[in-house]
Structure 1
Amino acid sequence: MLKPTALHTLRERRRKADRRYGARLLAAAALAAVAAVAFGLLLTLVEGQWRPLRHLDTSAARDLHAYALRHPGWTDVLHLLSDRIWDPVTLRAAVAVLTGWLLYRRAWRLAAWAAVTAVAGGLVGLLVKIVVERARPALQDPVAHAAGYSFPSGHAMTATTSFAVFILVLAPLVPRAWRIACWCVAVFSILGVGFTRVALGVHWFSDVLGGWLLGVAVVALTAWAFEAWRADAGRRRTPVSQGLEPELGEAEPEPGPPAR
């Protein structure tokens, strides 16, 4: 039996862990709400053709397009990044491979979270495109072409959800000293995707911003649901820097001798 002092210390640790866990859930819900509200406001401004936003969109598209026309080598780099490395098909395939690996590791719920986040992001983005029906930039001597509607940017949204999945799943497997570098690579990639789409003249800046916001909202909501499941399952509380399921980084037990 635990001594009174030890029991008090244990209860205090649990209370602190519960408070941290509650704060984490609240932060996820608040992030989703802020992103959703910001996206709704942006959509209202886009639909209402708010003059300052329209001026920002047109000036960014015009200036970046003029630079791309003058520098063909730069344009080739943008195509490589946008159409090969950061292409939605490439990123979704990478998430599918990651999901398969999670299934192999028998991390069933984490695999389901990764798949649901990727699929939900794609479906929500497509639905909004169909509802808004915004035309893409029409530039003279375009350096790139893209089919479909413009708002929100599917590239930007897919990059946001995909790199969030990579970070939140693989964080437990990355040494602590390298985690900040991984976050920096993810943020750089997400921002870089948006820049390439505007620089190639296939999206307005507000399209890219909408993709980022909608992607953040989807990830925050699915992560909040996953964390709520962990609470119901009695899993230990951990900071977000350790990923959604820190147990993934724990060594798998070696098989013991066969039972007699």
Structure 2
Amino acid sequence: MPRFGLRLTIAAVIALCAGALFAVLALLVETAFPPVWELDRAAAYGLHAVATANPELTRFMLTWTDVFGPWPWRLAVIAAAACLVWRGASRPALWAIFTITAGGVLGLLLKIIIGRIRPELPDPVSIAPGEAFPSGHALTATLGAGVLVLLLLPRLRGAGKALAWGIAAFLAVSVAATRVALGVHWFSDAVGGVLLGLLVVAATTAAFEGWRRDMGREPAEPLVEGVEPEEARRA
């Protein structure tokens, strides 16, 4: 049977890059590297001033971070996976559930290991429990958006594919930004959440594509064709 071997897909390259960047960022956070710490403080206090001066914007951000919070993404992925199973596509359904679950567990473990304290700002506009790094909201938004796009790609055509990735990127980044603006995360927490989400999605996607090739299926480019291109024939 053909082996995935050293023939890396774009997803594998993204996983390697995101993993390296996340590891460096985690090390800088753990050692309180002064430039990162100063950037975090400047972003936290600067955005907090904007939030306290604009209550309507703050209410919008609170709604946004809830609507696109971790549980809505998890439920959306579960619903998509259930639909796939009903259609007889159990393989991508299992990949989707594994990806968002593994990413969430990994994020929680890293929070405990690193144990970073959240910002403590005067007159906070929002509060959140637990440790700070990486941001769970940013992580789950990246995981959920990435998984859903990769499931939808086989059914999209032309500019629809680029639009789907654009929307996914916007949602992940906007959720990450609200967590910093609301004063419940440092800037590096949000960046770390997005990077970890990219790492997990890209790594599981590359592994899934390697398995497909081992099973004798036609090689695919997941970022263009999705994790299971054969789904297009079920439409």
TM over 0.5: yes
Aligned partners of 1:25 and 1:227 also within 8 Å: no
- For 2:11, give the aligned amino acid: A
Compared with structure 1, are the counterparts of its residues 27 and 111 closer, same or farther at alpha carbon in structure 2 (3 Å cutoff)?
A: same
The 5 Å alignment of 1:53-132 reads 53-83=36-66, 85-132=67-114
SS in 2 for 1:250: helix
Q: Provide Cα deviations, 1:223-244, integer angstroms capped at 9, x if missing partner.
A: 1110011101111123331211
Q: Among 17, 29, 36, which residue is 2:12 paired with? A: 29
Maintained 8 Å contact 1:161/1:216: yes
| Gaps in structure 1 of 5+ consecutive residues | 1-17, 253-260
Partner amino acid, structure 2, of 1:153: S
The 3-state SS of whatever aligns with 1:231 is: helix
Counterpart for residue 51 of structure 1: 34
Assess if the C-alpha contact under 8 Å between 2:14 and 2:199 holds in 1: yes
- Structure 2 portions without partners, runs of 5+: none
Partners of 1:133 and 1:149 within 8 A in 2: yes
The number of aligned residues is: 232
Q: Shift of residue 62 of structure 1?
A: 0.4
Deviation at 1:176, TM superposition (A): 2.3
Q: Tell me what 1:232 maps to.
A: 214
Name 1:204's counterpart in structure 2. 186
| Aligned: 1:148 with 2:107 | no
Q: Secondary structure of the residue that 1:46 maps to in structure 2?
A: helix
Q: Kindly state the Cα deviation for residue 251 of structure 1 after the two structures are TM-superposed.
A: 3.8
Match of 1:136 in 2: 118
Structure 1 partner of 2:141: 159
Cα offsets for 1:47-105 (capped at 9, x unmatched) = 1111111110001010100011111000011001001x211011100001011011111
Code of the aligned partner of 1:81: W
Q: Structure 1 CA distance, aligned partners of 2:173 and 2:145?
A: 11
CA distance in 2, matches of 1:198, 1:116: 28
Answer with 1 or 2: which has the greater Rg: 1
Q: Which secondary structure state, in structure 2, belongs to the residue aligned with residue 25 of structure 1? A: coil
* 1:24 Cα deviation after fit: 6.8
CA distance in 2, matches of 1:218, 1:81: 24
Q: Which moved more, 1:28-37 or 1:181-190?
A: 28-37
Instruction: Give the aligned residue type for 1:190.
Output: A
Match among 150, 154, 178 for residue 160 of structure 2 = 178
Pick closer, same or farther for the CA change 1:168–1:36 going to 2, 3 Å: same
CA RMSD of aligned residues (A): 1.6
Q: TM-score of the superposition, structure 1-length normalised?
A: 0.85
